[in-house]
Amino acid sequence: MNRPEILPTLATIREARAAIASAVLRTPLVPSAALAAKAGQEILLKLESLQSTGAFKLRGATNAVQRLSDDQRRRGVGCCSTGNHGRAVAAAAARLGVRAVVALSALVPATKVRAIEALGAEVRRIGVSQDQAQMEIDRLVKEQGLTDIPPFDHPDVIAGQGTIALELLEDRPDLRAVVVPLSGGGLISGIAVAAKALQPAIRIIGVTMENGAAMVESLKAGKPVSVNEHASLADSLGGGIGLENRYTFPICRDLVDETILVSEAEIYRGMQFLFREQRLVTEGGAAVSAAALLAGKLKLDGPTAFIISGNNVDPDQFLAVASGQPVKLGDQIVKAQVEQR
């Protein structure tokens, strides 16, 4: 396989686990009888939404910040984000007394902006895409000497996210598949590297929204490509993968077994189902695995883990979904689906 020279490995993921253990929760893996009834197979939910920042991103950000040199810590860090990574970097930096600057596009919900600011990070609202926000970080790296901590395409970030797979296979070594929200690929890459090393036959399945599915379009094209970003219930899955992507694209190309697209209506149903049946508050990006199953797009053949990646959802939006009210996304109105009986 043609891969970059430096890629995360099972060894670096194990190192990351030791490095972040004091700062990150070992999240529970809980059964879902309601989803199992739909799947005809055992479904287990990995509750990364219980992390202190509300999402799995704390793992990768903490690993990356802790591996900085003393000089890099003195100069500070920066990142662009759709929200969850910025919050994780802010938390990891605050823990070590490091300056953090987070660039966010106009598509990032205000609730995520406030959460990042509350952790002491400097927030810059830049443009209408993650690529435009990244340009601001690139400027600060050049002019102020900040160290960029990318949201996904970085070995230390990927290794941190991969610690999830170590926990999964310790708790359930008989897992046949892991279903993972797919955006830039940091989460699924880390999980795939560790899980495939420990259990080569395990299936790694990525799920994302239909509009603006950057990694899926890049895999189809055989190289990283740009996509237009759209307002989505799964806003945490927005953004491109970077045309100079070095790590997550080749890992996804080589190790991810299947990708699935879900509509906004299907994501709405997934969020609503997880709340009504599991009492889980999830952002849209965290509900895509359930959305794919409920839509009949996910075929399983044994015990399967769903990564419930985060709970950082706008409260008003979530209340509307939970109660079956329509949600406005740009020019689109998303409504509750009528169950077919």
Instruction: Please report the pLDDT score of residue 221 as a whole number.
Output: 97
Instruction: Please report the pLDDT score of residue 339 as a whole number.
Output: 58
Torsion angles phi and psi, residue 207, rounded to 5: -130, 135
User: What's the mean pLDDT in 185-205?
Assistant: 98
Instruction: Please report the pLDDT score of residue 6 as a whole number.
Output: 66
Report, in angstroms and rounded to the nearest whole number, the Rg of the chain calculated over CA atoms. 18
Average per-residue pLDDT in the chain?
Answer: 94
Segments of 126-245 assigned E as strands: 147-148, 177-181, 203-209
Domain locations along the chain: 10-55+154-334, 57-148
Segments of 5-137 assigned E as strands: 29-31, 43-47, 77-81, 100-104, 122-125
Instruction: Please report the pLDDT score of residue 4 as a whole number.
Output: 40
The Cα 103–Cα 120 span in angstroms is 14
The CA-CA-CA angle for residues 208, 195, 15, to 5°, reads 110
Q: Which of 190, 312, 239 is nearest to 82 (CA)?
A: 239
Instruction: Please report the pLDDT score of residue 337 as a whole number.
Output: 73
Give CATH for domain 10-55+154-334. 3.40.50.1100
Structure confidence by residue, pLDDT tens digits, 5-52: 468 999 999 999 999 999 999 999 999 999 999 999 999 999 999 999
Which amino acid, 162? G
pTM of the model as a whole = 0.93
Q: Does pLDDT of 267 surpass 80?
A: yes
Residue 156, judged by CB atoms within 10 A of its CB (0-12, 13-18, 19+), counts as buried
Q: Does pLDDT of 247 surpass 70?
A: yes
Give CATH for domain 57-148. 3.40.50.1100
Note the residue count of the chain. Answer: 341
The Cα 210–Cα 291 span in angstroms is 12
* DSSP element (H, E) containing 117: helix 110-118
Q: Which of 79, 312, 105 is nearest to 228 (CA)?
A: 105
Name the percent of the chain lying above pLDDT 90: 84
10-55+154-334 with 57-148: one CATH topology?
yes
Cβ–Cβ < 8 Å for 207, 263: no
The catalytic residues are 57, 309
User: What's the mean pLDDT in 53-59?
Assistant: 96
